[in-house]
Chain A
Amino acid sequence: MTQPHIRLTDVEMTFSRPDGAGEDIHALGPIQLDLRHGEFFAVVGPSGCGKSTLLELMIGLSTPTKGSITFEGKPINGSCPDGIGVVFQEDASFAWLTVRDNIAFGLRRMALDRREQDERVEKALAMMGLGEFADVYPSQLSGGMRQRVCIARTLVTEPRLILLDEPFGALDQQTRLLMGDEILSLWRKTGATIFLITHALDEAAMLADRIGVMSSRPGQLIDIVETNWPRDRDSRIVEEDAFGAVTARLWRSLRVESMKAIGKKDARP
């Protein structure tokens, strides 16, 4: 088990302008990162620092301009390997399918008997608190609920590595803490590796084993904070002193970067 679950080596991403005019955008990197099997890793960083770009590289949606990424020892090139599940930052629910059919979407493409598929869908509906909305269309749900549909759609395929891009962004703080508990219990049950992008420092501090702090663009990992939480933690961890210490450290690392991101030139540490 010395091999990391996913490994990023010298990963960099530069977007060139399609029309050739203007400067290329150096969006990310260089990044070195090993995720251990079964760990809960969170990434925080100022807006526009390249978090979503990083995620798209990890699922093969785009290819890094430099460096390489391997998942379970095999290089990722151009397509998303089986075993990785992703929830995007934007609402990706299918407007023309009911909540139940949305959740079953990825599952139906798997070689799995129908009864097992249906069971998984029902379980996911219950877990995400969508039971009574199973037969409605996403347009009848709030943004936060639609995001839960997308999370459920990913979870039912039981990925070994789950990537979440600000999945709780549209939720209120209370629901967010409770959804965090759900994710934690799911993480414990499945033993999956989780990579969570968030802009909420407290969310990262509460959920993750390790938290990567990214600089403003081009995003680089400027700090990695170990939380040392027990595996059976839940949202009540926010009451502890250690929690305050973790958030404080995150903020210390991020403050300057965040000021850069909103264009404050005279940022002082």
Chain B
Amino acid sequence: MTKAGLIRLALIAALLGMLEVMVRIGRIDPLTMQAPHKMVIDLYSMLASGKLNKAIAKTMGNAAIAFMIAVSMGVISGLLIHRLRRLRETLDPLFATYYAIPVFAFYPLLILLLGLGDAPQIFIGVMLGFVAVVVNTLNGLDRVPRVLLKTARVNGMNPFETALKITLPSAAPYILTGAKFAVAYSLIGVIGAEFIMSTGGMGYEISFAYNNFDNATMYPLIILILTASITINMLISRWEKSLLKRRGLQ
């Protein structure tokens, strides 16, 4: 591990240690926040009892679906928009302001349109992640050296083949950056929507636990979400890094 990595780890450990001490000496009310060690124990018993497995599976499953839709649609849209200059010029300013839109405001409308099932939650996740993928894909495609496109043309490659064998591999590191955003956004979208209105899922369970002062459920769920998000993010980062390293860029 690098020195920076060690310092980072030490910092996190110190913060957790401080929290532990604060709760134990009573500076923080256990009704507000539990000691970290207790959260871990609660997480273990929660997982062991299996009573929230359904909620976890629902949220993670929906987030995964939102993620996959956001990435695949984002990449395909990026490829199309990149080819259509007019469309690009029209959309670019919209992309730049897109994240000023409070997507959740549309949630009630989405429920009206898509019903009370999982669809509106997935839709919110996709709405949040999709544009990040498009923007990063476009950024990557802009940087494909022109000479590579010429090479594709002299090899008689059609647009589809060119995308598959030249432009997408060339833009891959940027697309992965977009994918990292999509991981976080699809979780935010799905869980946030569950908070507002739904009948199950981790967001719903967290809000339910919150209303009932059930810290033994609330904190483990939060930890679980954090862990999942950070782990996936790190996996993609590692992949991204290996691509960049191969290209002598890191």
Contact = CB atoms under 8 A, between A and B. Distances in A.
**Are A and B associated in one complex?**
yes
Interface of A: 56, 59-61, 79-80, 82, 84, 86, 88, 90-92, 94-96, 105-106, 109, 137, 139-140
Contact of A96 (B145, B156, B172): B172
A80 B153 contact: yes
B148 A92 contact: yes
Q: Is the interface of B mostly helix, strand, loop or mixed?
A: helix
Given A106-B155, A109-B155, A92 B248 contact: no
Q: Is the interface of A mostly helix, strand, loop or mixed?
A: loop
A109 B44 CA distance: 54
B147 A139 contact: no
Contacts of B170: 94-96
B153 A137 contact: no
A86 B154 contact: yes
Contacts of A80: 153-156
B246 interface: yes
Contacts of A109: 155-157
B248 A140 contact: yes
B151 A92 contact: yes
A56 B246 CA distance: 31
A96 B147 contact: no
Contacts of B249: 139
A139 B155 contact: no
A88 B248 contact: no
Contacts of A88: 147, 150-151
B147 A92 contact: yes
B124 to A, nearest CB: 34
Contacts of A82: 156
A61 B155 contact: no
Nearest to A141: B248
B243 interface: yes
Given A96-B169, A96-B246, A90 B156 contact: no
Given A96-B172, A109-B155, A61 B150 contact: yes
A140 B248 CA distance: 7
A56 B149 CA distance: 13
A96 B247 contact: yes
Nearest to A98: B246
